[in-house]
Every structure is written in structure tokens, then in C-alpha cells.
């Protein structure tokens, strides 16, 4: 039977397109407009051409923040993806433990970002925070306010605490969808625990892992609220990520032109890396 082609389904996505136009396209167009102009307020703009882009591309401050962002995302993915898989593999599949584990896992995801930041800001304090005080009492020279390494450890721990649950829940959803017959066949064949993971569980989790990697990459690369609340980008600039730097530039210094140019470069890099991740992982899936 010949397949009927028509494009009427596009009308179904029209409401979403209108919403996206107002929430994303119009702001993006405005940012592009600002990126080639200079302003001192009062809706008065002066043409600057590609000046802000050149300034950003030659800015050490920009590239340092970019480097921090890339390192942060790499560390987050390296920790959260294996840890999420490990926890999901060890969660119960039957009985009363299932709802308990699911609720416990979902809890960190329900807490707003700024509250997470505040929790960890207090948690890490050496005078009243459980983590900071305990580490100090044990003889560790921990102080996230003064030490860049400690600040990084705190932010990474906070992100792991906040977002590993997402990876766990996605992986768990992939694991529970595997029919028992697969495990029975593996048992008959005498497959080891590793072989079951490698040839049954991992392939079945691949689609949800793709979503997990993409979401965690994009979110960690655009992280703002939590580190801003905990360290404010310090000590020095050691935890100043691109988003924090962007807000400092746009809101703090009112340099709307350079901030808009930085936003566009930032956006293009997120878009490129997300496309690469998505393409590599979906095509690996197709090849399999």
C-alpha cells in the first residue's frame, strides 16, 4: 500500500511554536540585536558590529570560565552516570522497598535550586555546618570559603547529591522494562553478573542513558543558581562558571553588548556539544 504523505500534522504543533516564539525565539533575537550594539540605557543603542564578539573571543576571563565549565561537566558526567547506574542496579524490583527507594530518590529533585544551594552553604560551614564542622573536628583543613579546591569539592558533592537521582530514576525505568525471560535465558546459559550487565542491562538502558547524559551535560554546563548561592563564584574566580560570569557582566556591570555576545557563543557551544552527544549516541544505537 502506498504511504500517504501530507503535512497537516504541522498544525498540531502550532500552539507550541507560538509559545516557543515568545519564550525563546523573541528573547534570542533580542540577544542577537544587543550583541552588535552598545547601550547606556534608555533604549538608546549604538552600532558596534562584531566588536563584542572579538572582545569575547580574545578574553582570558571568558576562556577561563569556559574551561571551568567543561571541567565541571566532565567531572559531573564521570561521577553521576556510573553512580546512577550502580544505584539503579542495586535498587529493589519488588516489594515495599520499591516505593521507599523511589520516594527517597525523587526527594532531591523536588527541592528548588536556590534551596539546594542554601542547604549546602550551611552544611559546609565550619562553624555550624554538619559537613564543615565534622571535617574540621576530624582534622581536615576544609574551608570552602577560602580554598578553591574545597569550593570545587563542595559544589561537585552538591550537584551529585542533587542530580544523581535523575540518572538513577531513568536507569531504573530502563531496567524494570527488561522482561524476566532475558534473565532466565542468561541463567540457563550460565552468564556471569558482568555478562548480564554488559549484554542485557546496559543495551536496554542505552536510550534512557542517552537522555540522562544529554540532560546532565546541558544542565551542568549551564549551572548557575547552586554555585552562585554557595560560593558566589569564589574564592577569587575559582568557581565562576560562564553563567555566573554572564550575569555579573549583564546585570552587575550593565555591559549588555559583551554579555549578549558571550551568551551567543555560550549558546552555540551548548548546541554543538549537545548535537555531538545526541548524534554519537543515537548512531551507536542504530549501528548496534
Partner 1 sequence: MDFSWMAWTLPTAAFFITIFLMLVGMGVWEYFSPGGNPRVGILRFETTRGDRLFVSLLGAAFIHLAWLGMIGPNLWWALALAVVYAIGVFRFV
51 binds partner 1, rule: CB under 8 A:
yes
d(CA 72, CA 217): 10
Near partner 1 by CB under 8 A: residue from 37, 118, 143, 237: 37
Of 36 and 88, nearer to partner 1 (C-beta) is 36
The Cα 247–Cα 146 span in angstroms is 23
Q: Give which of 75, 84, 83 is closest to 156, Cα–Cα.
A: 75
Q: Please name the residues in contact with 190: beta carbons below 8 A apart, sequence gap of 6 or more.
A: none
**Largest distance between two CA atoms of the chain:** 76
Classify residue 94 by its DSSP letter: S
Please count the residues of this chain forming the interface with partner 1, following the rule CB under 8 A. Answer: 29
Facing residues of 155 across strands? none
Considering only residues 19, 20, 23, 30, which one is a binding residue for partner 1 as defined by CB under 8 A? 30
Residue 254 gets the label, from left (phi > 0), alpha (psi -120 to 50) or beta, of: left
Locate the DSSP E strands across 1-137: 37-39, 45-47
- Binding map of partner 1 across residues 171-210, x = CB under 8 A, - = no contact: ----------------------------------------
Site for partner 1 in 225-284 (CB under 8 A): 265, 268, 271-272, 275, 279, 283
33 binds partner 1 (CB under 8 A): yes
User: Taking the complex as a whole, how short is the minimal distance between the CB of residue 277 and partner 1, in angstroms?
Assistant: 14
Among residues 10 and 194, whose Cβ is nearest to partner 1? 10
Contact call for residue 23 and partner 1 (CB under 8 A): no
Taking the complex as a whole, the smallest distance from the CB of residue 283 to partner 1 amounts, in Å, to: 4
Torsion-angle region of residue 41: left (phi > 0), alpha (psi -120 to 50) or beta?
A: left
Residues that bind partner 1 (CB under 8 A): 5, 7, 26, 29-30, 32-34, 36-37, 39, 43, 45, 47, 49-51, 53-54, 57-58, 265, 268, 271-272, 275, 279, 283, 286
Amino acid at each position: 500500500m502506498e504511504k500517504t504523505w501530507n503535512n497537516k500534522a504541522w498544525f498540531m504543533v502550532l500552539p507550541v511554536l507560538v509559545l516557543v516564539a515568545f519564550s525563546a525565539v523573541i528573547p534570542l533575537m533580542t540577544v542577537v540585536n544587543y550583541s552588535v550594539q552598545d547601550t547606556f540605557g534608555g533604549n538608546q543603542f549604538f552600532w558596534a558590529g562584531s566588536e563584542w564578539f572579538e572582545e569575547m573571543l580574545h578574553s582570558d576571563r571568558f576562556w577561563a570560565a569556559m574551561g571551568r565549565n567543561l571541567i565541571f561537566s566532565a567531572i559531573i558526567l564521570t561521577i553521576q552516570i556510573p553512580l546512577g547506574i550502580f544505584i539503579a542496579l542495586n535498587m529493589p524490583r519488588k516489594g515495599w522497598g520499591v516505593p521507599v527507594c523511589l520516594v527517597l530518590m525523587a526527594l532531591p529533585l523536588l527541592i528548588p535550586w536556590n534551596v539546594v544551594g542554601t542547604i549546602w552553604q550551611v552544611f559546609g560551614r565550619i562553624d555550624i555546618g554538619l559537613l564543615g564542622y565534622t571535617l574540621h573536628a576530624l582534622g581536615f583543613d576544609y574551608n570552602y570559603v577560602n580554598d578553591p579546591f574545597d569550593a570545587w569539592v563542595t559544589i561537585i558533592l552538591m550537584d551529585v547529591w542533587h542530580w544523581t537521582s535523575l540518572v538513577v530514576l531513568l536507569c531504573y525505568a530502563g531496567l524494570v522494562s527488561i522482561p524476566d525471560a532475558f534473565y532466565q535465558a542468561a541463567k540457563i546459559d550460565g552468564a556471569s553478573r558482568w555478562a548480564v550487565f554488559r549484554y542485557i542491562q546496559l543495551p536496554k538502558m542505552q536510550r534512557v542513558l542517552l537522555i540522562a547524559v544529554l540532560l546532565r551535560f546541558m544542565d551542568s554546563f549551564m549551572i548557575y543558581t547552586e554555585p552562585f548561592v554557595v560560593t558566589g563564584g569564589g574564592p577569587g574566580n575559582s568557581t565562576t562558571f560562564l553563567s555566573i560570569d554572564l550575569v555579573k557582566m549583564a546585570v552587575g556591570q550593565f555591559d549588555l553588548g559583551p554579555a549578549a555576545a558571550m551568551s551567543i557563543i555560550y549558546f552555540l557551544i551548548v548546541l554543538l556539544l549537545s548535537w555531538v552527544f545526541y548524534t554519537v549516541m543515537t548512531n551507536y544505537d542504530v549501528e548496534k
